Amino acid sequence: MKQLIIVIAFIAGSLFSFAQSIDVIINSKEALRIENTLASNDMKGRKTGTPGNTKAALFIAEEFKKAGLQPADSKNGYLQKFAMVEAKVRSSNIVLGGSKLETEKLIAITPKRMLQVNEKSGYETGKIAAGDNLGAKAMSFVQSGKNYIVWVDNSFAKNFKRLNYFKSKLFANTPDVLFVLADAAPETYLLEVVQEVEEIELMNVVGVLPGKSKKEEYVIFSGHYDHLGVTDKPENGDSIYNGANDDAAGITAVIMLANYFKQLHNNERTIVFAAFTAEEIGGFGSQYFSKQYNPDKVAAMFNIEMIGTESKWGKNSAYITGYEKTDMGAILEKNLKGSAFSFHPDPYTAEQLFYRSDNATLARLGVPAHTISTSKMDSEPNYHKLSDEVSTLDIENMTEVIKAIAISSTSIIKGTDTPSRVNTADLK
């Protein structure tokens, strides 16, 4: 009898402490504290490359430290630093088979100050033929990770300069891709470019909670901390894009989940908590972060974007982008059975969020990497507006979304569920 009572007391006690612990760590007071800091005027809209952005990064690093996460980088601590360059062409030269061509026929995607390439340079060669999808084909060369010379069919003469898009910002260690408007590769050629190059240092913030047994398998929780900065066209005396929903809300979730999982300490898989920079200017932070991992070792990624307002289904609900691409959504729903919360497939598929958000780099490599959001993409009045302020958020509901993410991910971080992979063959 005595023994039984002890067992009952133990079970009741542990149930109570579990139920209590999630509310102790993930509660609206804490959500508001983090939101008020990240979205404060002090952070000046957290624009990539500005002091306000750095200030936000240092705050998040401090929160990761307080939570007891390990720094991801032995040298830079929680700050995952990387460099990008902005390059402006000063002069270029293009000689094909002995004849000089107009310099507009060469678009060199390179971070180098000076580049000189000829047929003996050992670059791979590729072709964009008449009828190809110019942008998609060009993208595949840019993302190949190899030095390329790409001969672009003359039928693209009118749209050729669009390829300058790839020049806007480059990773400092990016390979060279030279697009040449010419139908065929001549036997000999010379391509030269001289550029003015400005290097920009950027940083993600990354903390780690090592797994107990499956240390080499990763589960990622992420959001982006950068936003749009300050405008020179104030409205009603306000010039700061506070970005309370976009995406201070996601970072608030990441910080609270870090604290929760650290306390819970039942993760067999290693959990990585990441706050990305440069989402608003092209997703460079998540691209850099994603390249640091072997995709085969990443069991799941929960990217969290704009969870501060009610979804189109009302309270206690959110959607998952690319829902049908893996069975991760079904696992999350299974773990939420009996609760008032529900996940739905992304209803805004025309927006291509699965391909546009910070989950995309890993998803394209097969990782079950999804974005969770409540944002009504067809009617979110404060989206990318000066009015995206903490006062417009439903902090109580947002706290419930964060709790739901915590509970729904339990079997994945414990290693008892492994979501199916994205079939990269049928991606766009």
Q: Which is nearer to Zn ion, 71 or 283 (CB)?
A: 283
Shortest distance (Å) from residue 246 CB to Zn ion: 4
Closest distance of CB 280 from Zn ion, Å: 5
Give residues 244-303 in contact with Zn ion (rule: CB under 5 A).
246
**How far apart are CB 403 and Zn ion at their closest, in Å?**
24
- Number of residues binding to Zn ion, judged by CB under 5 A: 1
**Matching residue, tokens 């999804």:** 370
380 touching Zn ion, by CB under 5 A: no
Q: Closer to Zn ion by CB, 291 or 385: give it.
A: 385
Instruction: Check if the beta carbon of residue 408 is closer than 8 Å to that of residue 332.
Output: yes
Pairing of strands 189-209, 70-71: antiparallel
CB of 251 to Zn ion, least distance (A): 13
Q: Which is nearer to Zn ion, 30 or 246 (CB)?
A: 246
* Shortest distance (Å) from residue 244 CB to Zn ion: 12
Closest CB 198 distance from Zn ion, rounded Å: 24
Nearer CB in complex with Zn ion: 35/246: 246
Instruction: Find all residues with CB under 8 Å of 358, minimum gap 6, and list them.
Output: 222, 223, 224, 276, 279, 283, 285, 286, 303, 305, 371
Q: Closer to Zn ion by CB, 375 or 409: give it.
A: 375
Nearest-approach distance from CB 245 to Zn ion, in angstroms: 9
Distance in Å, CB of 166 to Zn ion, minimum: 22
Q: Which CB sits closer to Zn ion, 46 or 325?
A: 46
Which residue has its beta carbon closest to Zn ion?
246
Nearest residue (CB) to Zn ion, 176 versus 246: 246
| Residue 35, burial from CB neighbour count under 10 angstroms (0-12, 13-18, 19+) | buried
Comparison of 250 and 329: residue with beta carbon closer to Zn ion:
250
Show contacts with Zn ion in window 225-254 (CB under 5 A): 246
Amino acid found at 244: A
Contact residues toward Zn ion (CB under 5 A) are: 246
